[in-house]
Amino acid sequence: MPEIRVGQGFDIHPFSDDPDRLMVLAGVSFDGPGLVGHSDADAVAHAVIDALLGAAGLGDIGQRYPDTDPAHAGADSMALLVDTVAGIIRRTIVGLV
């Protein structure tokens, strides 16, 4: 029987006081106020990333993309999602980390 894994993700961010900050949800930008975050604060993308990492047994979004790392400041969360999927594929199909 194949191994079955399930991932669950969630994410929350407070609303920004900056009325010009865009709201980004699932990669779609809306007029602000947006959400506060180290990256673009796309809560939908972050929850999906968290679920994928959990299902793959690879920790969570905070471990893979820590908000203490300046490299992720202002990051496009859809790019992080693509990177996450690519990393899971490399690990599960090719056997790389």
pLDDT digit string, tens, across residues 14-52: 999 999 999 999 999 999 899 999 999 999 999 999 999
Radius of gyration, CA atoms only, the chain: 15
78 lies in some domain: yes
Which residue stretches of the chain are H helix? 43-55, 61-64, 77-89
17 lies in some domain: no
The answer to whether the beta carbons of residues 32 and 18 sit under 8 Å apart is: yes
pTM equals 0.87
5 lies in some domain: no
Does residue 1 carry a pLDDT above 80? Answer: no
First to last CA, the chain: 25
Does residue 96 carry a pLDDT above 80? Answer: no
CATH number of the domain residue 84 falls in: 3.30.1330.50
39 lies in some domain: yes
Residues 39-95: tens digit of each pLDDT: 999 999 999 999 999 999 999 999 999 999 999 999 999 999 999 999 999 887 765
How many domains, the chain? Answer: 1
